[in-house]
Structure 1
Amino acid sequence: MRAVSVALLTSLAALLSTQVVEVRCLDMVIDNDFSSNSVTPLFPALANANVSLLAVTSVTGNTWNAQSVGHLRRYLQAVGTANNSDSQRAAQVKAVSGANRALVRTPDSYEADAALTGRLRFAGAYRPFNATAEAEGADPSGDLQNNARVTLQGQERPGPLSGALQESANLYAPNFLVEKSREARAKNATFSIAAIGPLTNLALAQAQDPEFPKGVELWYQGGYLGTGLEAVLSVINSDYYVDLNTAIDPEAAKAVLRAPYARIVCVADFTSKIIASNDTLSRAAALSDSASDDQRYLARQISDPVEVGLPAWDDIGVALPIYPELITKSIKVRLDVDARAGGPAYGKAFAWLDDLAPSGLQEVEFPLSINETRFFEIYVSAAQAFINPK
């Protein structure tokens, strides 16, 4: 064996030491239209010690905002009881209520436009009011004038608020986001928003402060481009291959995606093909014999969902800002949203190559594929941190 100089060994040790301690630290907000069985997108952020989750904000989308923030508070209460370092971080996370309705679109306008724009297989808060379903605890829809109603029952209903949840109970998401952007810009930094619901809160934030986008890296679960053919191949596809977040609030999506954010990534079409296997779900929801009621509640969100077999849309939308190395292929485009009500393109996104694009559009990163095996490893590990903590 040849001799190696002490100096060389010292240099190598220093290099290895530097590589070990280098970590990706991320200031982050999750903005989502929480509904039944939508706790899992919280797990990757809460289970990663290198993520500073500044808050989780709610917005109208799948259901009205009052119900959405109720779900969120219940989820955070449940994950905060795991009695480990991850749950201790979760207990410090604020739940901030957001926009109660879209900028322009309403259930009535959705119905009135249907003859021209067509219908959505699942229309979220724009579905007709169903008194019978809501009496049984279903997420509210329709009846805009009474959109503050909450139907959560039993174990789905949050308990009395305390700690960070109580402190944030009277905050308003657009105001909170503006404040965090100003703080980031004052440090010549940015924070990331995983916007996995409609973009209403962000549109309201940038209306307050036109400089708001400059402090934000935006990861949007929306901006679908190739859904037309996929959506007509089957009834299931007509539900899965729809850009619902953009369709709920087209005016907000257009305003936000045209604004000068520090970075815009649209986590879109490819997510509709990524569905967890039964084995993955079983491993994610595995419980110990001594599991608490809250841990069993969280496990049921995965093992006994209201709707079976949905793609991992929101889970991917949160995971990618934290683990961008998951992206295996992407392109860059200029993207816009048609916000002209009354036509078949209303609420749909369109993209151009840079040299062909209309003026005034931002550059958008558009992932095409991810490392699915690694993603589901993260999914299972993050869920188990709260469902079966070690």
Structure 2
Amino acid sequence: MPTRLVIDTDTAADDCFALLAGALHPAADLIAVTLVAGNVGFARQVENALITLDAAGRPEVPVHAGAERPLLREWVSAENVHGDGRGGHAFAVPERAVEAEHAVDALVRIAREHPGEVDVVAIGPLTNIALAARRDPAFPRNVRSLYVMGGSNNGRGNITAAAEYNFYVDPEAARIVFSAGFDTTVVTWNLTLDQALFDTARLAAISALDTPLSRFFDLVNAPTLAFDRSVGIDGSTHPDSLTVALLLEPGLVRRSRRYFVDVETQGELTRGYAVFDWGVFGKEPNATVVEEIDAAGFHRFMLDLLARRP
């Protein structure tokens, strides 16, 4: 039976491809998309989610708008990386409205209606997830698993030297989530940078598919690819797609390890830094962290996805 899946996203670029995976993979029953303040302006994120679901042929999937700013801080954009999140292309924006129900209410309700049966993939800042955990203390127990794209496993950041973007934007939310009692799996930014980079050859293989979805990929991915290359990365990074892929095809995980994970909220230089305690300081593990993947298998996952004709 396909997994009941909710994707919590700040829809831009790779988030769009993660939505495609959730909408089209046979192992997924995408029952809702929830939106959180992150990559680009909130109204634009909403449009990007609707455009992507239309590209997937899944306009019936409900979209819920959520937190439009972090818990305590001003929103920080990633538009310098992703542009408008849709490659600057003038896609027709669907006329349908998002659901009236707030994303946090939707998360709590869905998990309560299907206790132990819903997997949540959080690929933006963790504001909505933290608010849902505070709204309903049973929410972390009702969710079967929480897959988080965030942090850098004691490695370099991508918005500061120390921090990955999602945790940097709302570090207080990330700290709440890791202490809330979810069955959490973490897919870090440095994992995709080190093991799942889409280099020139892999990107060319996607372009060669010449399907509507591969053309959508090329258009939407172009600004992120240009940014990555401008900072010395030889290709484009796809941590959000990877996070969904590892949930839906767990055989792509080659090695993972239990860690105690916490997030710095006070540091002047280290705001959003994720600490992965590998077990020598007496902390009880609270997350499974993916450390090695089948990189070729992930690329095949994306090729199979983008070869589909919704």
Asked if TM exceeds 0.5, the reply is: yes
**Residue 66 of structure 1: CA displacement?**
2.0
Kindly state the Cα deviation for residue 357 of structure 1 after the two structures are TM-superposed: 3.5
Does the Cα contact within 8 Å between 1:29 and 1:53 map onto a contact in 2?
A: yes
Structure 2 Cα separation of the partners of residues 267 and 240 of structure 1: 19
Are 2:70 and 1:102 aligned?
yes
2:127 to 200, 210, 222: 200
The gaps in structure 2 that reach 5 residues or longer are 227-234
CA distance in 2 between partners of 1:240 and 1:282 (Å): 31
C-alpha distance in structure 1 between counterparts of 2:271 and 2:247, whole Å:
29
Is this contact kept in 2: 1:280–1:380, CA < 8 A?
no
Identical-pair percentage: 27
Deviation at 1:303, TM superposition (A): 6.6
2: CA distance, partners of 1:250 / 1:339: 5
Q: Structure 1 325/348 Cα, relative in aligned 2: closer, same or farther at 3 Å?
A: same
- The residue number in structure 1 matching 2:3 is 26
Residues 137-166 of structure 1: CA deviation (Å, up to 9, x unaligned): 9549xxxxxxxxxx99872351311xxxx4
Deviations 1:4-52 (A, max 9, x none): xxxxxxxxxxxxxxxxxxxx63111111111256421123222222311
Change beyond 3 A, Cα 1:323–1:332: same
Spell out, residue by residue over 1:214-262, the C-alpha distance to the aligned partner (whole angstroms, 9 max, x if none): 122111011322224xx6xxxxx7779841100000000000011111x
Does residue 280 in structure 1 map to residue 202 in structure 2?
yes
| Counterparts of 1:238 and 1:173, CA distance in 2 | 26
1:311 equivalent among 233, 237, 257: 237
- Indicate yes or no: 2:274 matched with 1:349: yes
Query: Which residue is 1:335 aligned to?
Result: 261
Distance 2:79 2:217 in 1: 29
Partner of 1:68: 45
Q: After TM superposition, which residue ranges in structure 1, 4 or more long, deviate above 6 angstroms?
A: 151-154, 237-241
- 2:105 aligned with 1:182, yes or no? no
The answer to whether structure 1 residue 92 and structure 2 residue 47 are counterparts is no
User: Counterpart amino acid of 1:105?
Assistant: R
144, 148, 169: which one aligns with 2:99: 169
From the CA coordinates, give the structure whose radius of gyration is larger.
1
Helix, strand or coil for the counterpart of 1:381? helix
Report the Cα offset of residue 384 of structure 1.
1.4
Q: 1:190, CA displacement in angstroms?
A: 3.1
**Structure 1 unaligned spans of 5+:** 1-23, 81-89, 108-122, 128-136, 141-150, 232-236
Q: Taking structure 1 as reference, are residues 307 and 25 closer, same or farther at Cα in structure 2, changes over 3 Å only?
A: same
Structure-1 separation of matches of 2:161 and 2:9? 18
Higher strand share goes to which structure? 2
Q: Which has the higher helix share?
A: 1
Letter in 2 for 1:53: L
Shift of 1:350: 1.1
Do 1:241 and 1:272's aligned partners in 2 also have CA atoms closer than 8 Å?
no
Over 3 Å counting, the alpha-carbon distance change for 1:362 and 1:66 in structure 2 is: farther
For residues 328 and 345 of structure 1, the distance between their equivalents in structure 2, rounded to whole angstroms, comes to: 30
CA contact (8 A) 1:330 1:369 kept: yes
The range that moved more, 205-214 or 47-56, is 47-56
- Indicate the residue corresponding to 2:170 in structure 1: 249
Task: Name the aligned partner's letter for residue 60 of structure 1.
Answer: A
Query: What RMSD in Å do the two structures reach over aligned CA positions?
Result: 2.9
